[in-house]
């Protein structure tokens, strides 16, 4: 990997543990409405929500549904699928409140982000709703303070891996594509999108994934990335 001149980081499931926050928030929802969810194992409740949410985000990314429809359907349709009669809007508010309460760094990510930021300009490139992602940056102000570029898909108008968001991020960094390194967890959004943009890519394969995408550096623990950059 050539020495980059700028490093972008994904946020969710790269720096911050989105999936764990989602799982914990769903457990809190089930605990609050214990009687209504009594017939459903927690793992099944989580899997059904996650699978439905993934499908809705794909439709949103394709422009097939609106942000409001995504938010409404991911709870309402999930409850309907489970046969649970609750106020979907109230459940959505509870879920988002508990989701925010469980935001946390992935182990080792904060230290590596700050170490790299001590040596190279860094930025953040993330999919997601702008108000939620900005709330995460407010919760962890060192991310915003150290990032010289913050690119959020909703504010650009397209989601990763669309070439337009990578082109926008390239211009924002003021760095040639080949000198930018992108660190992310998603094979589709981060690895494929970054490589297609001509960026260097470091794939955070934290959950035992065994694929080896050509042209990307694959790592499963943060010190390995530092070592690859000569900062370990």
Could you report the per-residue pLDDT of 205-216, keeping only the tens digit for each? Answer: 987 777 888 899
pLDDT of res. 131: 96
Show which of 44, 75, 101 is a domain's final residue. 101
Q: What is the CATH number of the domain that holds 71?
A: 1.10.150.240
Shared domain check, 170 and 67 = no
Could you report the per-residue pLDDT of 91-102, keeping only the tens digit for each? Answer: 999 999 999 999
pLDDT of res. 221: 93
For the residues 28-49, what does the mean pLDDT come to?
Answer: 97
Angle at 191 between CA 187 and CA 194, to 5 degrees: 150
Show which of 101, 132, 150 is a domain's final residue. 101
pLDDT of res. 213: 86
Examine residue 1 and state whether it is found in any structural domain, yes or no. no
pLDDT of res. 2: 81
pLDDT tops 80 at residue 166: yes
Residue 83 has phi, psi (to 5 degrees) of 75, 35
pLDDT of res. 199: 98
Band of pLDDT at residue 183, cut at 50, 70 and 90: very high
Residue 167 lies in domain: 6-17+104-228
pLDDT of res. 64: 94
Shared domain check, 120 and 74 = no
Examine residue 87 and state whether it is found in any structural domain, yes or no. yes
Shared domain check, 204 and 186 = yes
For the residues 29-36, what does the mean pLDDT come to?
Answer: 98
Shared domain check, 73 and 118 = no
Task: Give first-to-last CA distance, the chain, whole Å.
Answer: 15
Give pTM, 2 decimals: 0.94
For the residues 43-52, what does the mean pLDDT come to?
Answer: 96
Shared domain check, 199 and 117 = yes
Band of pLDDT at residue 184, cut at 50, 70 and 90: very high
pLDDT tops 90 at residue 232: no
Shared domain check, 97 and 37 = yes
β-bridge pairing 200-204 and 180-184: parallel
């Amino acid at each position: 990997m050539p020495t980059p001149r700028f490093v972008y980081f994904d946020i969710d499931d790269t720096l911050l543990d989105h999936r764990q926050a989602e799982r914990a928030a769903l457990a809190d929802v089930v605990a609050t409405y214990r009687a209504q969810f009594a017939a459903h194992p927690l793992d099944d409740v989580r899997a059904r929500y996650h699978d439905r949410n993934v499908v809705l985000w794909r439709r949103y990314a394709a422009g097939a549904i609106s942000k409001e429809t995504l938010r409404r359907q991911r709870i309402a349709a999930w409850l309907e699928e489970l046969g649970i009669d609750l106020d979907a809007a109230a459940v959505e508010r509870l879920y988002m409140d508990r989701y925010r309460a469980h935001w946390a760094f992935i182990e080792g990510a904060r230290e590596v982000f700050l170490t790299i930021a001590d040596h190279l300009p860094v930025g953040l490139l993330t999919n997601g709703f702008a108000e939620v992602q900005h709330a995460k940056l407010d919760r962890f102000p060192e991310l915003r303070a150290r990032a010289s570029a913050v690119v959020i898909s909703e504010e650009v108008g397209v989601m990763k891996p669309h070439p337009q968001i990578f082109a926008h991020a390239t211009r924002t960094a003021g760095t040639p594509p080949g000198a930018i390194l992108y660190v992310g967890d998603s094979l589709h959004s981060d690895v494929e999108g970054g490589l297609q943009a001509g960026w260097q890519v470091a794939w955070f394969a934290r959950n035992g994934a065994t694929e080896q995408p050509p042209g990307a550096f694959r790592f499963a623990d943060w010190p390995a990335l530092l070592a690859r950059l000569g900062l370990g």
